[in-house]
Chains A and B, each alone.
Chain A
């Protein structure tokens, strides 16, 4: 049998009954070849300190209980090899998920997570008059393929815990809820697509900053891509009265007109003239440093080429 290896861990400990705040506990664990971080936690609980608290059930990446921050990134402890994490440094840090209240040690409160999930009405809402009385509504393979990947979500909370927008804005729906919103809005059997997209636009569909922190999802759900798909659907449905959409549209307009981004025009169109004027001190400070450019700009050389390419690529339709 291969040798055990002593590995240093820094594990977050917090007991609400005795501690005012959490702290890191360092310990060395004899790690057997092939052990996951969850194996290590279980070893500590069994052999060293029975009070160490964490969630786990399936131990095989199915139930979604064991998500936590490992060396700064949210992942499933049961799918994370100790050896892999050791490539980043000799000590492995284990903490509870971010963007949630800490309950005890590595256990966090999922309440807000579920509330956001509920907000997107994550259930099928078909047109009842079209539901056959004697059987389920059939779907083609292609229709299934659209939602198959996002339907794999195990609600582990990894994306939620690492979302950089949520960190700054607790009102944001977050990647999981939005990905699941896509799962229903894009379901061929659902009759509420437009209402869903309109609600989502109101609830912050355009607040995602596409930082892609949610793309390394343990189940390859990749919420960021679902969010982009929702945005495309929202524009198609004509839900364009949102700063996010105006931003996208101004971007295109700027390229067609000038070939380049016209920063001043972009900001003006997205935020509106009034908001822009109220931001005068900032604008002035930037102007002094030559950082604010006037919205007049000369098009690049061969701008007609650009316009022809855009027209051809958009199928000849000038949107």
Chain B
């Protein structure tokens, strides 16, 4: 299995532990990640809103970089990258004028995009292509009934018409992965709520209250930890967990794992290999329980 690898900016900067864990987990699962050294930021929601044509051309370039390497699948590990790239790709493939305009811009640098690439997220690859049975077979350190709250966030689910991998109303993919690893899923009200990341610089107090509510809902259901497929969500509920707690008048200490980290633990990778020491909220309790400390 071979993918053009698009980690996104945050997994390369403040959440570089995610990129690190993804590489090790991919190696364990024999998933080949081909780097795209010249890829740009996807522009997130910001560029695709303020200047859709520029966002579209840049993402056509990103997709064309994968195409030029003979790859027809691009793997992301960030919700917002997944949505932004999927949306751009869908528009390029279905709107001839948009494709022509993007290719006109790409012609300036001698490139073009033919629309042969599909965008996917690591979570989807596990379910759709790798298979959970396969994953189960590689588990050497089962999560042992660890109570894990699945936090999906937004852009891996909505808008459904741009993504359409699973039900945006009742997603189950994370729960399935948790159970394949031997953990117990803790359903909670905030599973598909917004972590507030995208307004943290605009309306900080509101953003932290949004994250605080999600953490409250997970903690109240008795979760030992949380797992997220998105580094932006991770910043909101891990790096800013203290502020999120203050915003809702609580004091949390809920470890939050990036999806590849939780998988990596079950595959026998060590805490330091998975960069768990870079989290703001300590994960020691969970490691001890799993005998991984």
A contact set with B: CB distance below 8 Å: 71-73, 88-89, 164-165, 167-169, 172, 204, 206-213, 215-216, 224, 228, 231-232, 235, 243-244, 247-249, 251-252, 254-255, 259-261, 263, 266-267, 270-271, 282, 285-286, 289-293, 300-302, 305-306, 308-315, 319
A274: min CB distance to chain B, Å: 14
Give B189-231 as 1s and 0s: 1 = Cβ < 8 Å from A's Cβ atoms. Answer: 1000110111101111111011011000000000000000000
Q: List 30 A-B contacts (CB under 8 A).
A: A72-B169, A165-B196, A168-B196, A168-B206, A209-B196, A210-B49, A210-B198, A212-B158, A213-B154, A213-B158, A216-B168, A248-B47, A251-B41, A252-B47, A252-B54, A255-B40, A255-B58, A259-B41, A261-B9, A263-B14, A289-B278, A289-B279, A290-B16, A300-B39, A301-B38, A302-B38, A302-B109, A312-B104, A312-B108, A313-B51
Give B259-293 as 1s and 0s: 1 = Cβ < 8 Å from A's Cβ atoms. Answer: 00000000000000000011110000000000000
- Asked, given contacts A168-B210, A308-B109, whether A211 binds B158 with beta carbons under 8 Å apart, the answer is yes
Q: How many cross-chain pairs have Cβ atoms below 8 Å apart between A and B?
A: 202
A262 to B66, CA, bound (A): 23
Across the interface, name the chain B residue whose C-beta is closest to A236: B50
Q: Which residues of B contact A285 (CB under 8 A)?
A: 242, 280
Q: Which residues of B contact A243 (CB under 8 A)?
A: 201-203
- Asked, given contacts A72-B169, A212-B158, whether A309 binds B14 with beta carbons under 8 Å apart, the answer is no
Does B106 count as interface, using CB distance less than 8 angstroms? yes
- Asked, given contacts A167-B210, A206-B202, A216-B160, whether A248 binds B280 with beta carbons under 8 Å apart, the answer is no
Is the beta-carbon distance between B106 and A309 smaller than 8 angstroms?
yes
Does B123 count as interface, using CB distance less than 8 angstroms? no
A293 to B278, CA, bound (A): 13
A282 to B245, CA, bound (A): 14
A204 to B14, CA, bound (A): 28
Is the beta-carbon distance between B12 and A251 smaller than 8 angstroms?
no
Is the beta-carbon distance between B58 and A310 smaller than 8 angstroms?
yes
Considering residues B40, B160, B212, B213, which has the most beta carbons from chain A within 10 angstroms of its beta carbon? B40
Does B43 count as interface, using CB distance less than 8 angstroms? yes
8 Å CB contact of B109 from A88, A286, A309: A309
Is the beta-carbon distance between B243 and A270 smaller than 8 angstroms?
no
A280 to B207, CA, bound (A): 18
Q: Which residues of A contact B278 (CB under 8 A)?
A: 289-291
8 Å CB contact of A251 from B37, B44, B168, B205: B44
Q: Which residues of A contact B12 (CB under 8 A)?
A: 260
A233: min CB distance to chain B, Å: 11
Is the beta-carbon distance between A309 and B61 smaller than 8 angstroms?
yes
Does B105 count as interface, using CB distance less than 8 angstroms? yes
Across the interface, name the chain B residue whose C-beta is closest to A297: B13
